[in-house]
Amino acid sequence: MNRRLAQGIDADAAPQRVDPVVAVVALGANLGDRAATLDAAVTALRALPLVDAVVTATPVESVAVTLNGPDAAAPAYLNSVALVTTRLAPTVLLDYLHAIEARHGRERRTRWGDRTLDLDLIAYGDVSSSSERLTLPHPRAAERDFVLAPWADIAPDAEIPGRGRVTELLAVAARTARAHPVSASTDPAHTEVAPGLQEPQS
């Protein structure tokens, strides 16, 4: 095992056993072939070193959120959530997520702007972090129905540390829900990629 990948660059010299952790990764895209992009991102997650399994949720479609709030005139997002069983350190996993985004043409020019691919590290086991590089759990995940809905679909007993059960948070978020399941009638490409997105890796 590569110790630096498993423990991050600040690991000390003493040998440690690193047990797998389930990391929660939110995926989204609102430009280009959204379904194909999410499918390719899941394939890339499964190919990462020290990743043992990836389980993904059925995608949902959501209205784009900008700095001024929801914008129904902007291209809609296709969103999913992946449960990634990994021994990568959280900061190392974050670097890999940014690299996957970059391969799909992600440009960080406008905050909350349109995106070819967005990969957010939502949670990493029960780890809490407020470092300059990484805040865990994600500070806005508990209010985002397009994260909570697919997450609850594949892990109904999941909790966001310090915030509560995902299903209960979703019930609160549903009062202003913007996400809804995608069907073939609303996104033809979804029928081609959904089986791949839903298939867990053993």
* pLDDT given at position 63: 85
Cβ proximity of 87 and 49 under 8 Å? no
Low-confidence ranges of the chain (pLDDT < 70): 1-17, 66-69, 106-113, 176-202
* Residue 176 in tokens: 């202003």
Nearest to 134 by CA among 96, 101, 167: 96
CA distance 166 to 164: 6
> Which domains, and CATH codes, for the chain?
3-192 (3.30.70.560)
* Residue 102 in tokens: 């970059």
* pLDDT given at position 27: 96
* pLDDT given at position 36: 96
* pLDDT given at position 151: 97
CA distance 180 to 192: 19
* pLDDT given at position 198: 35
In the DSSP assignment, the letter for residue 128 is: -
> Could you give the C-alpha distances from 100 to 11, 45, 78, 97, 155, in angstroms and in order?
24, 8, 17, 5, 24
Which value, in Å, is the radius of gyration of the alpha carbons in the chain?
16
Let me know how long the chain is: 202
* pLDDT given at position 41: 97
Catalytic positions are 106, 115, 118, 120
In the DSSP assignment, the letter for residue 137 is: S
In the DSSP assignment, the letter for residue 63 is: -
In the DSSP assignment, the letter for residue 14 is: S
Nearest to 150 by CA among 179, 185, 117, 171: 179
CA distance 173 to 183: 22
Instruction: List, for residues 110-164, the tens digit of each pLDDT value.
Output: 555 577 899 999 999 999 988 888 999 998 999 889 999 999 999 999 999 889 9
* pLDDT given at position 173: 85
Nearest to 189 by CA among 59, 15, 62, 43: 59
